[in-house]
Amino acid sequence: MRGFLLTWVINIAAMIIVVNIVPGIHSDGRLTTVIAALVLGLINATLRPLVVALTLPLTILSLGLFTLFVNGFFFYLVSRIVEGFAIAGFGAAFWGALCFSVISFMLNLLISPQGKFKVYRFDGQPKDNHIKDRNIIDVEAEVDNDDKEEEDGPSRK
């Protein structure tokens, strides 16, 4: 439950960012943006699996690109449901949905399903302590042309 709530808060933050950076998307206030994020989450949880299943042939033929249009349609649908959340056209909905997805994905990378923040750290040491040799060897191979000449015979110059 905590993970769901934290994900929803992240989606609210993503929606606020999208409203501020994508031209053609307007919200009357923060409460309207919060409601729009909630409605988008509910639409994605309920309608999205059905629509994705029905449009699977188109998605396969377009190599997955049709999913971007489905996301844009849901974003536009939210603007029709929520008063005070306006989208100028499908183009703005498409770019808004794309930005929302990318921002939400990036922020959700930091959250575990249990609702805990993940911390990624790289100090140059492997995680497994049972590895004795911690050295990394980077080798670049060079081909010696003399060996090739011996196999093919003397080269003509």
Look at the pTM and tell me if it is higher than 0.95.
no
> Could you give the number of structural domains in the chain?
1
Residue 41 lies in a domain: yes
Residue 80 lies in a domain: yes
pLDDT at 41: 87
Residue 63 lies in a domain: yes
Residue 6 lies in a domain: yes
> What range does the domain containing 102 cover?
2-108
On average, the pLDDT of the chain sits at 80
Residue 57 lies in a domain: yes
Distance CA 87, CA 34 (A): 16
3-state secondary structure at position 10: helix
